């Protein structure tokens, strides 16, 4: 067997249990990696991963729900910051002031590197680089996940609590608008839930599961998901799913019964991203840049163009936002309303929540005139966070709780820079923000 520079020889096992030497020609360039993987029929093969990592990325081995071991790339982590309202300890920062308008470090009891952050209206949740979960904030429904629940345990925790599940490496936690259920996933996308299952947001299909005060595997996989107040929406690959209570038609299944309960994830439509508001669902289909929405049309949250007024609760089972090719859709938390970015980086908004001073509330998409080209957008309860093409994080909207992070409690219109920069991710929640740097 002749070898040239850069070639490698790996040993593989054939189906009849013979060990053979196999030449891999010039298998690696800078950053490439050879891993050994097991196929579905139990063969061991060498697989080249081309440039799998950038600075701070990691390759970890994960087990799927059907017990296959796969290699998964995870993004590098950093320090976790928080700002905004702190009435239930959701900032994870001790201190005398209930609200904090300047980004500051979440106070973990040990040195950690955070790779994902999210939570609920009154909770923070994070996953560290070692696969542990950290939770803090309100615990009336057992959403801390350490086995305690109010009133037998503390009503809230203002410092992060370390949560581990034997054999599970958590890599992702999900944001949401609700306060009763939290979700996280491992590298293979296996979803775990904890809290109170009153609205069947666990999605495990068992009506007898009233609660779990520690993370429990709920039997499905998701790459992305969000909780609304009474339902959840998720994406696995290019398929999207909904489950929970159908208040105001928010599941988007064409079912008018607002008391209908879908106990397990059921297919909705294809999509590349999903978001959930209080009682509505939006899916960015990726087809022609269209976004579809369903549920309660609070202040025009569906963006379907139907007449709406402040406080309007018109029900719409399926509504289409047409004519604008959106490249990205926001992930709203709290009671935030959707936003979109077109292929030119222009910002579009509908509904309320600090849309822009002269626009107020709109029941159809309106282009927001700014001097910025946006690459990312997300919304909290009445405020917005966006990243412009130069890398600066901007905020605007209601700021009475300091959620804009601009060193003041003054509402910010038009967009202004967040006081601390350099974040890789910013996750707006109800009236507070989490960010990784």
DSSP string for 316-337 = EEEEEE-S--EEEE----TTPP
Q: Please check whether residue 60 lies inside any domain of the structure.
A: no
CATH code for the domain of 239: 2.130.10.30
Q: Could you tell me if 151 and 188 lie in one domain?
A: yes
215, 193 Cβ separation under 8 angstroms: yes
**How many domains does the chain divide into?**
2
Q: Could you tell me if 132 and 25 lie in one domain?
A: no
Q: Could you tell me if 38 and 122 lie in one domain?
A: no
- pTM > 0.75: yes
pLDDT at 14: 61
pLDDT at 392: 97
Could you give the CA distance from residue 389 to residue 402 in angstroms, rounded to a whole number? Answer: 24
pLDDT at 269: 79
pLDDT at 200: 96
Q: Please check whether residue 67 lies inside any domain of the structure.
A: no
Backbone angles phi, psi at 298, to 5 degrees: -60, 115
| Strand boundaries in 129-210, DSSP class E | 133-138, 156-163, 170-173, 181-186, 190-196
114, 133 Cβ separation under 8 angstroms: no
Which DSSP string do the residues of 255-313 spell out, in sequence order? ---TT-EEEEEEEEEE-SEEEE-SSEEEEE--STT-EEEEEE-GGGTT-S-----TT--
**What value does the CA radius of gyration of the chain take, rounded to a whole number of Å?**
23
Q: Could you tell me if 38 and 129 lie in one domain?
A: no
pLDDT at 352: 66
Q: What tokens were used for 269?
A: 């439509």
pLDDT at 357: 45
Q: Could you tell me if 92 and 48 lie in one domain?
A: no
Residue 89, classified by CB atoms within 10 Å of its CB into exposed (0-12), middle (13-18) or buried (19+), is buried
Could you give the CA distance from residue 299 to residue 277 in angstroms, rounded to a whole number? Answer: 12
Q: What tokens were used for 19?
A: 């060990």
283, 226 Cβ separation under 8 angstroms: no
Across the chain, which distance is largest between two alpha carbons, in Å? 77
pLDDT at 5: 59
pLDDT at 46: 52
Q: Could you tell me if 47 and 169 lie in one domain?
A: no
Q: Could you tell me if 164 and 24 lie in one domain?
A: no
The single residue listed with the structure tokens 């005398």 is: 96
Could you give the CA distance from residue 294 to residue 251 in angstroms, rounded to a whole number? Answer: 7
pLDDT in tens, the chain (437 residues): 565 655 665 555 666 666 666 555 544 444 444 445 444 455 555 544 434 444 445 555 555 555 555 555 555 579 999 999 999 999 999 866 678 999 999 999 999 999 999 999 999 999 999 999 999 999 999 999 999 999 999 999 999 999 999 999 999 999 988 889 999 999 999 999 999 999 999 999 998 899 999 999 999 999 999 999 999 999 999 999 999 999 989 999 989 899 999 999 999 878 999 988 888 888 988 888 888 888 888 777 787 777 665 444 555 555 556 677 889 988 766 566 778 999 999 998 887 655 554 455 677 788 887 889 999 998 888 888 999 999 999 998 889 899 999 999 988 778 899 999 999 999 999 899 999 99
160, 173 Cβ separation under 8 angstroms: no
Please name the residues in contact with 206: beta carbons below 8 A apart, sequence gap of 6 or more.
263
Could you give the CA distance from residue 398 to residue 411 in angstroms, rounded to a whole number? Answer: 5
Q: Could you tell me if 247 and 387 lie in one domain?
A: yes
pLDDT at 23: 56
Q: Could you tell me if 230 and 278 lie in one domain?
A: yes
Q: What tokens were used for 199?
A: 């609205």
Q: Could you tell me if 40 and 164 lie in one domain?
A: no
Q: Please check whether residue 402 lies inside any domain of the structure.
A: yes
41, 63 Cβ separation under 8 angstroms: no
Domain that holds residue 348: 80-436
CA dihedral 301, 306, 307, 309 (to 10 degrees): -10
Strand order across the beta sheet in which 170-173 lies: 170-173, 181-186, 190-196, 211-221
Q: Please check whether residue 57 lies inside any domain of the structure.
A: no
- Cα–Cα–Cα angle for 106, 165, 177, rounded to 5 degrees: 50
Q: Please check whether residue 144 lies inside any domain of the structure.
A: yes
Q: Please check whether residue 247 lies inside any domain of the structure.
A: yes
The CB-side HSE value for 278 (13 A sphere, CA atoms) comes to: 14
Q: Could you tell me if 18 and 91 lie in one domain?
A: no
Q: Please check whether residue 70 lies inside any domain of the structure.
A: no
Q: Could you tell me if 116 and 40 lie in one domain?
A: no
Q: Please check whether residue 65 lies inside any domain of the structure.
A: no
């Amino acid at each position: 067997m002749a070898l040239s520079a850069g070639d490698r020889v790996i040993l593989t096992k054939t189906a009849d249990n013979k060990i053979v030497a196999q030449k891999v020609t010039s298998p690696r360039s800078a950053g490439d990696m050879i891993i050994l993987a097991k196929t579905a029929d139990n063969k061991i093969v060498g697989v080249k991963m081309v440039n799998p990592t950038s600075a701070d990325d990691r390759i970890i081995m994960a087990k799927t729900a059907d017990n296959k071991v796969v290699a998964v790339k995870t993004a590098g982590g950093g320090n976790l910051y928080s700002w905004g309202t702190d009435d239930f300890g959701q900032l994870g920062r001790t201190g005398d002031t209930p609200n904090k308008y300047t980004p500051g470090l979440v106070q973990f009891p040990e040195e950690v590197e955070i790779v994902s952050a999210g939570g609920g209206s009154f909770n923070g949740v994070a996953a560290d680089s070692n696969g542990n979960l950290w939770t803090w904030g309100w615990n009336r429904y057992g959403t801390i996940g350490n086995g305690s629940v109010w009133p037998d345990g503390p009503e809230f925790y203002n410092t992060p609590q370390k949560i581990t599940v034997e054999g599970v490496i958590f890599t992702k936690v999900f944001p949401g608008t609700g306060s009763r259920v939290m979700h996280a996933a491992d590298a293979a996308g296996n979803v775990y839930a904890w809290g109170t299952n009153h609205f069947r947001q666990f999605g495990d299909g068992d009506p007898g599961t009233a609660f779990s005060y520690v993370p429990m595997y709920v039997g499905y996989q998701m790459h992305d998901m969000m909780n609304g107040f009474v339902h959840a929406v998720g994406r696995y690959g290019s398929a999207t799913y909904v489950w929970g209570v159908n208040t105001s038609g928010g599941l988007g299944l064409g079912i008018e019964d607002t008391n209908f309960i879908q106990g397990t994830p059921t297919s909705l439509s294809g999509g590349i991203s999903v978001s959930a508001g209080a009682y509505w669902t939006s899916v960015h289909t990726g087809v022609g840049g269209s976004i579809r929405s369903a549920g309660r049309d609070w202040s025009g949250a569906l963006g379907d163009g139907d007449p709406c007024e402040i406080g309007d609760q018109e029900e719409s089972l399926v509504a289409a936002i047409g004519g604008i090719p959106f490249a990205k859709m926001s992930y709203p938390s709290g009671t935030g309303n959707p936003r979109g970015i077109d292929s030119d980086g222009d910002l579009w908004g509908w509904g309320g929540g600090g849309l822009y001073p002269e626009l107020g509330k709109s029941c159809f998409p309106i282009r927001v005139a700014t001097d910025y080209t946006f690459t990312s957008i997300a919304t909290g309860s009445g405020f917005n966070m966006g990243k412009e093409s130069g890398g600066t994080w901007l905020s605007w909207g209601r700021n009475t709780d300091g959620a804009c992070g601009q060193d003041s409690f003054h509402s910010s219109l038009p967009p202004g820079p967040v006081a601390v920069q350099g974040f890789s991710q910013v996750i707006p929640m109800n009236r507070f923000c989490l960010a990784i740097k």
